[in-house]
Amino acid sequence: MAASRLALPRLMLLAMLVLLVALLGVGVGVDGRSHPHKKPPRAGVGSRHSRVGASVGTVASSPAIPPDDDGAPPPGGIVPSDPATPFRPEPCVFDVRAYGATGESTADDTEAFRAAWRAACAVESAVLLVPSDGTFTISTTTFSGPCKPGLVFQVDGVLMPPDGPDCWPPSDNRRQWLVFSNLDGLTLRGAGTIEGNGEEWWNLPCKPHRGPNGSTLHGPCDSPTLIRFFESCNLVVQGLRVENSPEFHFRFDGCSDVLVDGLFISSPANSPNTDGIHVENTERVGIYNSKISNGDDCISIGTGSYDVDIQNVTCGPGHGISIGSLGVHNSQACVANVTVRDAVIRNSDNGLRIKTWQGGMGSVSGITFDGVTMENVRNCIIIDQYYCQDKRCMNQSTAVHVTDVSYANVRGSYDVRSAPIHFACSDTVPCTNVTMAEVELLPFSGELVDDPYCWSAYGAQQTPTIPPVSCLQDGVPDSLLDNPDLKCR
């Protein structure tokens, strides 16, 4: 009897423990881990920004934007609120229409864009949206930072400046339109068009051969670069159509770590100074998968440019891919480590060009052209150390040194009005270590021009080329050894 009396309290205690465990189990099951953190609340109807995915299809589908949480726990039991996984805020969309933009082309939407930029700049992972159902006109604007990380400027509609110099506000800068300055991590992208309205600028009488009877008149001739990036880093420009710029379409000044991918740039072949992409004092640049047709250089690389990689780019019509011009007004110019691969150049005045002024200093070195196809190009391969815009320049005793230039797997056709290969180097600072391998250039029409031009050019023909380049000299001139004027960093 005593043993049974002792067992009863033990049974009651065990039953209470089982019941307590069962009650606690309701709160710790699988359903309890499906949403361990709260999402940011949706913006209200009157808010000026909203979560991506609510109504903006283009942004929501971008691979750069994280998908919405579907409620299922991630593999391995790790949830976003765990310390091991950093929290990624959902992007907020700042539609310029919410700030007063009309998108009616004739209206001035400048202030709406500036207000939307200020708001987006202050929020992490923000998207400033130019919607697809409008044409937005804004005047000269500088979008400056610093901004919060992850900022995207998304152009899905049409964005353009005022139509020509007569419509340009007198107080606005006539040398630039959109400027992105002092930014880290900006992405400019979209499925829309940036329209430059450049025709009236091209026809100014101060432009080459635009005056009476084909003359060029003196006087102020400022025309705006369409899009300029200044003193910025970690930039992405992707997927846009950009056309009819008054002058340069894109210009990168003082930037680093730049990715340009999938652009379509277009202006007429007779539009003056409409370089597609210009790079200057900028390093670590990648330009990929783009098509550029314009009235000047397809891609131009200015002084202070290092580590530029160009791949799968189609150029033409235009003036080809150019390094320079460099050394103007007896200045020092330095360019190093430029690679052009798998490019196509069609119906162009030039193909692969390096151009420097007499009287400069510094060097161009480490240049590789590999896998380039030419189609009806007038000057396929050209180094010109006597570059001069009006042909009245005097020869000088100093020059920018051009060295370590490689041409490999360059094939196609040339316009027989000019020799396909032209090396005109300085008497006092010759070109050195110019190498050629697997170069085959044939006439687009007419007879073969088999007389490449060489002047003060040193290098080697590593394989037989068409036409043969037997005019390259061996060795390195003694005058170039330990010359301090030719040194760069």
For residues 345 and 373, the answer to whether their CB atoms sit within 8 Å is yes
In this structure, the chain runs to a length of 489
Distance of alpha carbon 198 from alpha carbon 162, whole angstroms: 10
Owner of token pair 């992007």: 91
Q: Mention every residue, 6+ apart, whose C-beta is less than 8 A from residue 205.
A: 211, 212, 215, 216, 217, 219
Q: Which residues of 167-191 are buried (b: 16+ CB within 10 A; e: fewer)?
A: ebeeebebebbbbbeebebbbbbbe
Q: Which H or E run contains 115?
A: helix 110-121
Task: Judge contact between 101 and 136, C-beta under 8 A.
Answer: yes
- Assign 330 to helix, strand or coil: helix
Distance CA 38, CA 53 (A): 17
Which of 237, 252, 247, 246 shows the shortest CA–CA distance to 303? 252
CA distance 465 to 361: 32
Residue among 142, 151, 126, 152 nearest 180 (CA): 142
Helices (H) and strands (E) in the chain, counts: 4, 31
Which are the contacts of 357, defined by CB distance < 8 A and separation ≥ 6?
Answer: 325, 326, 327, 328, 329, 387, 388, 393, 400
Burial class (CB in 10 A: 0-12, 13-18, 19+), 350: buried
Amino acid symbol at 310? I
- Report yes or no: 398 and 437 within 8 Å, Cβ to Cβ: no
Do residues 454 and 471 make contact, with C-beta atoms less than 8 angstroms apart? yes
Out of 319, 329, 401, 422, pick the active-site residue. Answer: 319
422 classed as catalytic = no
* Residue keyed to tokens 């440019």: 305
Calculated CA dihedral for residues 213, 214, 217, 220, nearest 10 degrees: 130
Residue with tokens 């001139």: 477
Smallest CA-to-CA distance from 223 within 239, 206, 211 is with: 206
Active site residues: 319
